Chains A and B, each alone.
Chain A
Amino acid sequence: MNLIHFDIYQQLLKEKSGLVLSTDKSYLLESRLSPIAKKWNFETLDAMTIALQGVPDQKLVVDIVEAMTTNETSFFRDTRPFDMFKDHVMKYMKEARSDKKSLRIWCAAASSGQEPYTLAMILKELEPQMPGWRFDIVATDISHDILDQARQGIYSQFEVQRGMPITLLMKYFTQVEEKWHISQDIKNMVKYDYFNLLDSMSALGQFDIIFCRNVLIYFDQPTKGAVLDKMARQITPDGFLFLGGAETVIGLTDNFKAVPDQRGLYGIPTGPHFAA
């Protein structure tokens, strides 16, 4: 793909999703966009690019943005955050919410569902110790296709083995030919919705815990800060934010602060997780 055309997609993606596409990703663009060109009956990728410069069908634009947003995920992706969720965050919440007995969790980039389902399985395992609790997991993504996939909850043998303990596979999946289907019980704990992190978050309501791992890395600095500031308004004063291992809030926002000794975990600076 030539660089002028690359610019067009780069701008489109930035405008629609806030994602920044670096030039070294141009190879990715061709492989991801060719199927879209084919789906929309363009002879070539260039023909689609030309059409895009006119008054394009908004559905085409949505397809293109979806194809370009990355979806890399697995169950228990990095073991550590889920250990932290179970051992630190849930331990805290069990006490802090003992009156209300309910928790709202947001997976802000749900992708094909592995992260929200992992959380649902962990919570299911905690149920005997937390009778009568209500857990709501809201899982959002910018890609409609990937959300459909997540709702189905069907995974390959490779996918279910990356990070997931065999006991959880035995408990919460059924095998249908070569695929593994997650149980209805677990599916019922997760509500999927389309959401663009650039949009206003106020309608989403308050959350006790937000997972936003490995998403910010695709945004430029001002957008990262803006997304974090908005999230700070949607989180309870003693809530927890999970970011990816390579991500930080330093230089982006003062509204979140790293929780000591818990890598990747953040809280509101005035909250109870920090000594005054």
Chain B
Amino acid sequence: MKSCLVVDDSRVVRKVARRIVEDLGFSCEEAEDGQKAYEHCQGGMPDIILLDWNMPIMSGIEFLEKLRAMDNGDSPKVVFCTTENDMSHIQRAIQAGANEYIMKPFDSEIIQSKFVQVGVLNSSE
């Protein structure tokens, strides 16, 4: 089973995201900020990370930069999932090594299509 790490400081968002990714057949772990996510990744890389931008202690973009500098830090696919919806944020995220970008609000269809695009899920037509 593929694993997904959901990183968001909102418990509600984590809960909604968990339900969606579990329905898609992933095991799900949660982290409430970038620091916790970083520690999680030190213990083992997930297949995919759903990443919020604005969080206390360590932001999503800081986490992403640190992740990509880690040993094997290129292996997880990273999909930003944030209310930041302007082009400059999107560009910055992609430059930092994000694979995809979701502008909140999201639904299961959007998550599914992004997971297909980054290659962790097969297209189901």
Chain B residues with CB below 8 A from A158, complex form: 110
Interface contact B110-A161, CB-CB below 8 Å: yes
A157 at the interface (CB under 8 A from B): yes
A158 to B102 CA separation, bound complex (whole angstroms): 10
A264 to B125 CA separation, bound complex (whole angstroms): 10
For B90-125 the 0/1 string (1 means CB < 8 A from A) is: 110010000011110010011001101100000101
A167 to B95 CA separation, bound complex (whole angstroms): 11
Interface size, A (range) = 20 to 34
Among B87, B110, B117, B123, which residue has its beta carbon within 8 angstroms of that of A165? B117
Interface contact A166-B123, CB-CB below 8 Å: no
Interface contact A79-B113, CB-CB below 8 Å: yes
A170 to B103 CA separation, bound complex (whole angstroms): 13
A91 at the interface (CB under 8 A from B): no
A158 to B113 CA separation, bound complex (whole angstroms): 12
Among A169, A174, A263, which residue has its beta carbon within 8 angstroms of that of B90? A169
A175 at the interface (CB under 8 A from B): yes
Chain B residues with CB below 8 A from A78, complex form: 123, 125
Instruction: Please name the residue on chain B nearest to A165 by beta carbon.
Output: B117
A132 to B109 CA separation, bound complex (whole angstroms): 38
Interface contact A263-B125, CB-CB below 8 Å: yes
Interface contact A166-B125, CB-CB below 8 Å: no
Chain B residues with CB below 8 A from A264, complex form: 125
Chain A residues with CB below 8 A from B113, complex form: 76, 79, 161-163
Instruction: Please name the residue on chain A nearest to B110 by beta carbon.
Output: A161
Interface contact A166-B86, CB-CB below 8 Å: no
For A235-247 the 0/1 string (1 means CB < 8 A from B) is: 0000000000100
Instruction: Please name the residue on chain B nearest to A157 by beta carbon.
Output: B103
Contact residues, A191-247 vs B (CB, 8 A): 245
Chain B residues with CB below 8 A from A263, complex form: 125
For A76-114 the 0/1 string (1 means CB < 8 A from B) is: 101111010000000000000000000000000000000
Q: Given contacts A157-B103, A165-B117, A166-B101, are A80 and B123 in contact (CB under 8 A)?
A: yes
Interface contact A79-B123, CB-CB below 8 Å: yes
Q: Return A272 CB to nearest CB of chain B, in Å.
A: 26
B85 at the interface (CB under 8 A from A): yes
Q: Return A80 CB to nearest CB of chain B, in Å.
A: 5
Interface contact B125-A170, CB-CB below 8 Å: no
Q: Given contacts A78-B123, A79-B123, are A166 and B110 in contact (CB under 8 A)?
A: no
Instruction: Please name the residue on chain A nearest to B117 by beta carbon.
Output: A165
Q: Return B8 CB to nearest CB of chain A, in Å.
A: 18
A78 to B101 CA separation, bound complex (whole angstroms): 19
A28 to B84 CA separation, bound complex (whole angstroms): 36
Interface contact A166-B94, CB-CB below 8 Å: yes
Chain B residues with CB below 8 A from A76, complex form: 113
Chain B residues with CB below 8 A from A81, complex form: 125
A81 to B123 CA separation, bound complex (whole angstroms): 10
A165 to B117 CA separation, bound complex (whole angstroms): 7
Q: A81-B125, A162-B110, A170-B87 are in contact. List 14 more A-B contacts (CB 8 A).
A: A76-B113, A78-B123, A79-B116, A79-B117, A79-B125, A83-B123, A157-B103, A158-B110, A161-B102, A161-B110, A161-B113, A166-B94, A170-B94, A264-B125
Sample (9) of A-B pairs whose CB atoms are under 8 Å apart: A79-B123, A80-B125, A83-B123, A157-B85, A158-B110, A163-B113, A165-B100, A170-B90, A175-B85
Pairs A-B, 7 closest by C-beta atoms: A79-B123, A166-B101, A78-B125, A163-B113, A80-B125, A245-B125, A161-B110
Binding site for B on A (CB under 8 A): 76, 78-81, 83, 157-158, 161-163, 165-167, 169-170, 174-175, 245, 263-264
